[in-house]
Amino acid sequence: MTSRAIVLLSGGLDSATVLAMARAQGFETYALSMRYGQRHSSELDAARRVARALGAQRHEIIDLDLRPFGGSALTDDTLDVPVDGNSTGIPITYVPARNTIMLSVALGWAEAVGAYDLFFGANAVDYSGYPDCRPEFVAAYETLANIATKAGVEGQRIRVQAPIIAMSKAEIIRTGIGLGVDYGMTVSCYLADAEGRACGVCDSCRLRRAGFEAAGVADPTRYQTDQTDPAAGAKQ
């Protein structure tokens, strides 16, 4: 029987690549997205497109509103998303404990459907300084998963897989293209509009655009302004 895997799917470039990698490894993939109170829904629209295109067996979108907690510019409209490229330390776009929360939901679904592999797009190279994107976090969560579940204590090891964690953004893009990922379907921007067009100036947009440039691949991202102008988006 084909092994099943739960894949956290945000609708962005990284998670789309991870879904393609899990499929290439022969897993029957169950994609999981979260409506957690993020500023826009266009990334969830992208997740639906990606799940269909990459052959997920199932795709579930779970409502888990984190807005009452605050603490992040992605869930609190009174906080500004940085657009100057000068963020230092852990940026205000960090959502407190988001990956821990999402992996816990994924872990519950995994037990329900008999999946023993959790995939997510943590990256510790070209990333924004988030503490829950580091190898230490992945290893610690895997330890937790194996002592907190019926499957784990009965001897069926659960693996938390972060296959792009040590890859540059360019390497991620080249890998995804090799696996047939159409990055034009994805949305990575923190300030995307209702049509899924990117701002071009937030940290996520900067990392994404630099990745395509480094990979020598044409950027398929749809922007809100003309990105051939270095000053484009300055008024965002």
Residue 66 sits in a domain whose CATH number is 3.40.50.620
pLDDT at 233 over 50: no
* Domain around 158: 4-215
Is there a domain that residue 224 lies in? no
Is there a domain that residue 91 lies in? yes
Mean pLDDT (whole number) for 95-104: 96
Give the tens place of pLDDT for each residue, 122-140: 998 866 678 999 999 999 9
pLDDT at 232 over 60: no
Is there a domain that residue 225 lies in? no
Query: With bands split at pLDDT 50, 70 and 90, how would you rate the model's confidence at 227?
Result: low
Mean pLDDT (whole number) for 81-87: 80
119 forms bridges with which residues in the sheet? 7, 161
pLDDT at 80: 94
pLDDT at 129: 78
Is there a domain that residue 221 lies in? no
More confident site: 44 or 125: 44
Lowest mean per-residue pLDDT among 85-94, 118-127, 155-164: 85-94
Mean pLDDT (whole number) for 142-148: 98
Is there a domain that residue 86 lies in? yes
Residue with tokens 């109170």: 37
Mean pLDDT (whole number) for 155-178: 97
pLDDT at 1: 73
Query: With bands split at pLDDT 50, 70 and 90, how would you rate the model's confidence at 230?
Result: very low
Is there a domain that residue 228 lies in? no
Number of domains comprising the chain: 1
Is there a domain that residue 227 lies in? no
Report the mean per-residue pLDDT for the chain. Answer: 92
pLDDT at 114: 97
pLDDT at 103 over 80: yes
